[in-house]
Amino acid sequence: MRRILSLICFLSISLFVPAQDHDHHEEHSEAHANECGHVEESHDFNPGNTAFHHIGDQNVFSIGPFQLPLPCILYAPEEGWSVFSSGKFDADGHGVGRKAYAGYVLFEGMVKKVVEPAGFSKEMVELGDHKVYEKEEATADGKSKKVIYVCYNGQEWRTDNLSTADAGVFGGGITSFYDFSLTKNVVSMLLVVLFLGWVFIGMANKYRRTEGQAPSGLQGFMEPMIVFIRDEVAIPFLGHKWEKFLPFLLSLFFFILGLNLFGQIPFLGNANVTGNLAVTMVLAVLAFLVTNLNGNKHYWEHIFWMPGVPAWVKTILTPVEFLGLFIKPITLMLRLFANITAGHMVMVIFVGLIFVFGRSGESVGGSLGTAVGSTLLTVFMMAIELLVAFIQAFVFTILTASYIGAATEDAHH
């Protein structure tokens, strides 16, 4: 029975969660005390924490149980540039480095920097297991936050997260270093772009060779989607100007769709690219720029002047219309981010229920029953997410087309 249970749990986790995501949070993990006195405390499995870790960007790329190192490109204002492979950290199965290099360490797949490096070696440092760990710290406002520490030469060294341009809204802000590395999300984007380039360049060459013939092979799969975006999105919303903006709309649609589908491939890191606010923000900014740079006189007049509207009404509507310029791309950004992130988290949480109800293997009946139910629910969610991948790419594209259409339509008198 235990062998059958182990097989079901292994298949469930292997299919839907990278190897490093679940091991780290098992209940009754063995306690270890390091030379700095820190004890690796056992704690209950937390599906929420595992899900948040799963959707995060990392400096390693997971393929099944294997972690492929990625280039680290780091800049600290006081120390300059550091360029090396994340393989130098010798990460364990949880993405925690057993080595430090150039004053940097790896925790759960993400690079951290020692805050006060005086006395901390800039060369390769052998740390060993359980020397990079997380601790709760009280903040000035009475709350607590998690801080990563390194145990080296019997002393605890505090570390920083990378600098982020969120002004502290999401717990980031400007810290001691900037990370320009090729992370899991960046590599995923490059892979998708290269694949899409290969597909469309190959299709274009085939059209030239078989001019006048019916589409075949990959053409037969891609052409209906291209025609759909042209006939149901570009032409209805853009009118006679559809040809000018069709390449942009197709690029948005297939780029988002490609990333959405890539993130659902089991064993391949489950990259959450379109569930990253930075990515969706850039896409929304592009839509904002294309819309407003092509806006005609009638468009801007409608926002700032509104002919025929009483002056006292303009004092109310003008600020609303102006704010709408920025609210539209913000909603584009948040809608895509929220839908993709939610799908990834729900699937991880479903699988995590196996460890919650089975108490990490102590309860055979609880684990077995939950494993079957969680697997079925996760497979169902993956089917739903496959549909969501297409829907969200279409929604982003059609809303962008509607914004561009409103900015470029001719005045009607």
Q: Tens of pLDDT along 189-232?
A: 999 999 999 999 999 999 999 888 888 888 889 999 999 999 99
Is there a domain that residue 240 lies in? yes
Q: Give the per-residue pLDDT at 20.
A: 39
88 & 212 share domain: no
Looking at the fold, whether 204 and 347 belong to one and the same domain comes out as yes
Same domain, yes or no: 210 and 168: no
Bridge partners of 125, per DSSP, are 100
Confidence band, pLDDT 50/70/90 cuts, at residue 360 = low
Inside any domain, residue 249: yes
pLDDT above 50: residue 14:
no
pLDDT of residue 356: 74
Q: Residue 23 above 50 pLDDT? A: no
Share of the chain above pLDDT 70, in %: 82
Q: Lowest mean pLDDT: which of 22-31, 117-126, 327-336? A: 22-31
Q: Which of 165-169, 335-339, 409-413 has the lowest mean pLDDT?
A: 165-169
C-beta separation of 262 from 186 below 8 A? no
The number of folded domains in the chain is 2
Q: 94 pLDDT band (50/70/90 cuts)?
A: confident
The mean pLDDT of 93-104, rounded to a whole number, is 88
Which residue in this structure is represented by tokens 């590599």?
187
Mean pLDDT to the nearest integer, 102-122: 87
The domain boundary residue, chosen from 125, 158, 182: 182
Residue 177: left if φ>0, alpha if ψ -120 to 50, beta else—which one? beta
Domain that holds residue 172: 58-182
pLDDT confidence bin for 184, thresholds 50/70/90: very high
Average pLDDT on 385-396 reads: 95
pLDDT at 392 over 90: yes
Lowest-pLDDT range, 121-130, 185-194, 257-266, 395-404? 121-130
CB 357, CB 372: distance < 8 Å: no
The region of weakest confidence among 186-190, 208-212, 371-375 is 371-375
- For the ranges 104-113, 120-129, 276-285, which has the lowest average pLDDT? 120-129
389 and 296 share one domain? yes
pTM for the full predicted model: 0.83
Q: Are residues 226 and 155 in the same domain?
A: no
Residues 245 and 352 in one domain: yes
Band of residue 47 on the pLDDT scale cut at 50, 70, 90: low
